Each structure stands twice: as structure tokens, then as C-alpha cells.
Amino acid sequence: MPSPELSAQPSVCSSAPAKPLERVDIDLGDRSYPILIGAGLLDDPTSFEAVPTASAALIVTNTTVSPLYAAALQKALAVRFRSVHTLELPDGEVHKDWPTLNLIFDALLGHGADRKTVLFALGGGVVGDMTGFAAASYMRGVPFVQVPTTLLAQVDSSVGGKTAINHPLGKNMIGAFYQPQLVLCDLATLSTLPPRELSAGLAEVIKYGPIYDMAFFDWIEANLDALSAREPAALAHAVKRSCEIKAEVVGQDERETGIRAILNFGHTFGHAIESGLGYGEWLHGEAVGCGMVMAAHLSQRLGGVDAAFVQRLTTLIARAGLPVVAPRLGAERYLELMRIDKKSEAGEIRFVVIDRPGSAVMRSAPEAMVREVLVQCGGA
């Protein structure tokens, strides 16, 4: 069963101690925008000064997040918008689909939203992806703001402009590149995150080390206990450095024609796990964590890393509370699902692999080698 994004506790935003504000900028020319990181930001009207002026706003959230934070966000936005409406979607990856997406369009049309109406995505990656896709599509594009409330969304999915819904045959196969006006990472929201969701977010933090910054990887190893204990200083650094790395990569390759693909380390295997088990059975971060183990073994077989590195990464992923043994879907099922992945070309499966610690590339691998990895990691 899918885990709820947040535990049912009262909002802590307004009572959270103020933390120094961190800012990371995504440099994309006229599509550039800031990422603001700190505690107590969500209910502060000044946090939204970068948002375009409009008469109306729509907060898109879900049934789990809404009772915790929607009222605080609505109150903050009421200072800038004449009308602020809230739409609650059903919670969970299984609802990242056309019928749920249409609920956003129904709300926009029902409220008479125009081209200046601003959408606010309040929640985790599912809410952010669907709200962004709706914003990209409604009237051929309206502004939107990401207000991520999960660690995974704060360090990854809310940044970079990827928006999508799932299809029964493949994850995130229907979507658009569409950049937000602002990403607001309120660290206070992480205090209500269930442990399983926190672990899922740590997977996307960990990935930045092997693909880009081994010094950050060293820091994660040394501070993993502090991250798991939700120590504010550790979380602030993890979110900021993750966003910095993603900003550097996205700034070079907005539409994933080159280097941006390295951000999908572990995702080819991971998406196959999610699709094969059924969306929501494993959280996205859990599938990515296990997928990184599998991708590390493939990297070793391709000569990029040694066995010691694979063991080091596997140990860290396990310490974060993530699965390191693949579900037994069978080699044929894995291969079938991975051929549908967005990174495949002409039916050839392509993987993000580590060519040396701190550096990643995209390449294909012999099918026999992939089968060996599937057997080794428990999937076949």
C-alpha cells in the first residue's frame, strides 16, 4: 500500500523557528527562477514576492497535505491575490493519471481561471508533477509555483521543470518541460514527514554524490544519522547542495539532450520496479535506491567502478532505510519495462552508469550483462 506523504499532525509552519534563508538560482535566461530554502517560509507573504501579480490563485494539494498546510498557504497568498481557491486531489502515485489531472482542469475552468491565474503545487512529487503539467497545458501555459512538502520533492522533483503523469505502460511518459516561477522549500514541513517518506527522499540526495560530487557523498556518509534524525542544519545543507547540483546540471541542459540525463541514475531500473509492482507499492525513492544498487553493479561490470565502491554505495543506501534487493519480477519483465523507458532509443535500453566516482555517463549495455545484474540483485 502507498505510504501517506505526511503524518496527520497539525501544521508547524507558523511556530517553527526562523532559519537563515538560503537561495539557489536556476539560470535559464528568461525562464530563470529562484529556489528559496528555509524554515517558516510557507506562511510568510514576503516569500512570494517573485510570483507574478494576478487576481486569482489555485492551490493544488492532496487530502493528506491539505489539512496540514493549505490554510497557512492560503492566508499568505490572500495578501497578493483577490481570490485563492484550494483543490484537494486523492493522495498517492496510483492517482498520477489522466482522471486526476482533469480534476485540475475542472477546477480552473469552474473558477473562470484566465492566463494570469497562478497555480501553487503544495505537496510531494505527484502533486508537483501534475500541477506543473496542468499549468503547461491550460490555455497553453499559465504560471505556477512549486511548494514541495517532501524531502524528495525539495531536492529533486520540484526543480528543473519536468512535469508528467504516468501511463499503465510506463512512468512519466506523458508530460512537458515547463519551468515554475519559484520553488519554495519550507524545511518545517519535513517535521511531519513519515520515516518511510524521509528515507525515500534520502535516495535522491544520495544519488548526487556518485554522479557529480564525491565530497558531498562523503558528507552524506558522515551526516546520515543527523539527516535521519531531521536535524535542521543537516537537512538545510542537504537540500541546498542537492539543489545547487541540479541547478548546475539543468542550467547546461534544460531539455535533457545531454548531461541532464545523469540525474536519472538508478531510474531505469527504478521505474521498471514501480511499473512492474504497480504504482505506489514501492515509493519512488525506494525504487530509485534499489535501482542505484543495480546501476552500480552494472557500472562495475562496464569497468567504471570497483567492487569496493559498489559495496560502499549499497551500504549507504541500506543505512538510509532503503531496499537494496530487487523485487523478483523476472528478467523478461524487467527488460520489457526498461525498453519503454524514455532513455531507450530504437528499442535499445540505455542506462546512467558511473564511469568513475563522481562522474556519470549514459550508455547502453549488452543484454546478457543486464541479465547478470538482474540475477545478482535478486530481480530475476
Cβ contact 246:27 at 8 Å: no
Of the candidates 267, 301, 342, 343, the residue annotated as catalytic is 267
Cβ contact 270:79 at 8 Å: no
Of the candidates 207, 237, 264, 286, the residue annotated as catalytic is 264
Domains of the chain: 22-192 (3.40.50.1970), 200-376 (1.20.1090.10)
Cβ contact 13:192 at 8 Å: no
Q: What is the pLDDT of residue 186?
A: 97
DSSP string, 336-361: HHHHTSTT-BTTB-EEEEEEETTEEE
240 in a known ligand binding site: no
Residue 120 grid cell: 501553487
CA-based nearest residue to 152, from 235, 221, 220, 70: 235
Torsion of CA 102, 78, 128, 39, to 10 degrees: -160
Please give the backbone phi and psi of residue 98, each rounded to the nearest 5 degrees, phi first: -60, -50
Q: What is the pLDDT of residues 176-205, one digit of tens each?
A: 999 999 999 999 999 999 999 999 999 999
267 catalytic, yes or no? Answer: yes
Q: What is the pLDDT of residue 20?
A: 56
**pTM of the predicted model, to two decimals?**
0.91
Does 15 score more than 60 pLDDT? no
Of the candidates 19, 237, 240, 284, the residue annotated as catalytic is 284
Instruction: For residue 87, give the H/E element and its range.
Output: strand 83-89
Q: What is the pLDDT of residue 53?
A: 86
Give CA–CA dist 289/170, Å, rounded: 19
Of the candidates 237, 240, 271, 301, the residue annotated as catalytic is 271
DSSP 264: G
116 in a known ligand binding site: no
Q: What is the pLDDT of residues 89-148, one digit of tens each?
A: 999 999 999 999 999 999 999 999 999 999 999 999 999 999 999 999 999 999 999 999
CA-based nearest residue to 182, from 237, 216, 135: 135
Q: What is the pLDDT of residues 66-93, one digit of tens each?
A: 999 999 999 999 999 999 999 999 999 9
149 in a known ligand binding site: yes
Cβ contact 176:133 at 8 Å: yes
Q: What is the pLDDT of residues 303-352, one digit of tens each?
A: 999 999 999 999 999 999 999 999 999 999 999 999 987 777 767 899 99
